[in-house]
Chain A
């Protein structure tokens, strides 16, 4: 279905204009269907989200598996599960009412609905996924590694940073990939928090419009079976391909990690 409508689109618009076009403006009199601004927006927000989420989640995962006692773990685990359960639309809502005004105040802009806002919210949403998978990976490192490290006189911190985390690296990478996949495909949060200006994105403090948000905004308004309608299916196909590749890379690392543990 996705493929069918995408093909219908490329019958009407040259693929080269689609890939290299720097304007997305389907409702202008001379409609433009360039995916680049959307793609750059999605990458910008996802990159920002990961820059925040990766250090936080690896730190938390390491704390959970190496330092936290059983009691603390029993409190922290449900906290992370609850964070995962908060619906995306509620997080987007807080982006509008709490984070947006906060950013606007700090940067002295008229409103705080920009790429940074979306990135922070997406980081919050990706955290539980990355923490859970990364913690499993760190837990999966054989105890003999740690003992060998202690045996040669390494401290707990040295063991963690020089032995345990490098040994768990493929598993942690898989966790990050899952988080990236989740952030790229998330719709409601970015739709509500990033401002959705369709011009070419200028940076973290400007409004951006991701692939997912574009689909959500425009699909409700286009007449069925028009070029614009097909165009939305085409960008959905691109989104699908990206998440598929990200997930496959993640899976590759999971398998690598499993083999490595069995060895």
Chain B
């Protein structure tokens, strides 16, 4: 019996790991196998028809793409500048430490609270109404701490000797950051930004009350109007639709498209990281 104990021990750990992998396999298998049949060209290129029971999900795809773009425009420049300030300029004192701690805690705030905050600030406080812009700004706020944290990490990985070399040949601090540090940190920063955006694209709770709508007849893409989005569309199709069994295939199709969008963003982030690691 004693001979088998190591195998048992190893086996129990392998078993837990197997369960974790099993979860992913079930998720992907179920969504891909049942979503693929509804994934036709019409599905991704047409407007919904017949009370959502037929037709495509084009407005939801457009909505999610636009929303993610706005999030990027709002969060990326601001987040990257914050990180550059924190990492390159700010001295290590109590104020900086408090700022860093708050950013870390902001990253842990539940997304629905961002939704409430967006509702109170953008929709009502700034009178934007429920709109694409308000939802994009809310998601931008949600993404900000993640972008700051990942950018700071990317900057920290640039060795001090690189900076010192630049300063040594007479570059000013600004020139050293702009021409030496940033270019070599770009792949790391990009990876963080793209991963954050993939998270934002799949979020539902923050846009619930800030601008998403179940059905928009004519997706104009104007900033001040409501929009459709893939995650919310999936939520509505799977819980709120009156003909719930009839729209199941559409719900599966929507979740497949959503997962493809999110995984494509993830893959591009991994690709950037992989290419960068190879160059080192």
Measured CB to CB, the residues of A under 8 A from B are 1-2, 5, 55-60, 62-64, 67-68, 76, 78-83, 85-94, 96-98, 124, 127, 131, 155-157, 178, 181, 184-188, 191-192, 212, 215-216, 219-220, 224, 232-233, 236, 239-240, 243-244, 246-248, 251
Please determine whether A80 and B20 come into contact, CB atoms closer than 8 angstroms. yes
Given the contacts A59-B12, A87-B202, A216 and B113 also touching, CB distance less than 8 Å: no
**Between-chain CB contacts (< 8 Å), 25 pairs:** A1-B121, A55-B16, A57-B20, A59-B13, A79-B21, A83-B20, A83-B27, A85-B202, A87-B201, A88-B204, A89-B232, A89-B255, A90-B258, A92-B238, A97-B251, A127-B20, A131-B20, A157-B9, A178-B108, A187-B112, A188-B205, A191-B235, A192-B239, A212-B112, A233-B120
Which one of B16, B26, B105, B110 has the highest number of Cβ atoms from chain A below 10 Å of its Cβ? B110
| Secondary structure dominating the interface of A | helix
Please determine whether A98 and B116 come into contact, CB atoms closer than 8 angstroms. no
Query: Could you say which of B50-58, B182-190, B259-267 contacts chain A?
Result: B259-267
Chain B residues in 8 Å Cβ range of A186: 110
Closest Cβ of chain B to A106, distance in Å, is 16
Closest Cβ of chain B to A175, distance in Å, is 13
From 52 to 109 in chain B, residues with beta carbon under 8 angstroms from any chain A beta carbon are: 101, 104-105, 108-109
Number of interface residues of B (CB under 8 A): 61
Residue of B nearest to A59 (CB): B16
Please determine whether A188 and B235 come into contact, CB atoms closer than 8 angstroms. yes
Measured CB to CB, the residues of B under 8 A from A are 5-6, 9-10, 12-17, 19-21, 23-24, 26-27, 30-31, 101, 104-105, 108-113, 115-117, 119-121, 124-125, 198-199, 201-205, 208-209, 231-232, 234-235, 238-239, 248, 251-252, 255, 258-259, 262-263, 266, 270
One of B113, B204, B270 near A239 (C-beta < 8 A): B113
Please determine whether A92 and B116 come into contact, CB atoms closer than 8 angstroms. no
CA distance A225 to B155 in the complex (A): 45
Residue of A nearest to B25 (CB): A79
Given the contacts A90-B27, A94-B30, A85 and B104 also touching, CB distance less than 8 Å: no
Please determine whether B238 and A185 come into contact, CB atoms closer than 8 angstroms. no
Chain B residues in 8 Å Cβ range of A247: 104-105, 108
Chain B residues in 8 Å Cβ range of A78: 270
Please determine whether A87 and B116 come into contact, CB atoms closer than 8 angstroms. no
Given contacts A80-B20, A127-B20, A251-B104, 7 further A-B contacts (CB under 8 A): A89-B231, A90-B31, A94-B30, A212-B112, A219-B208, A236-B116, A246-B108
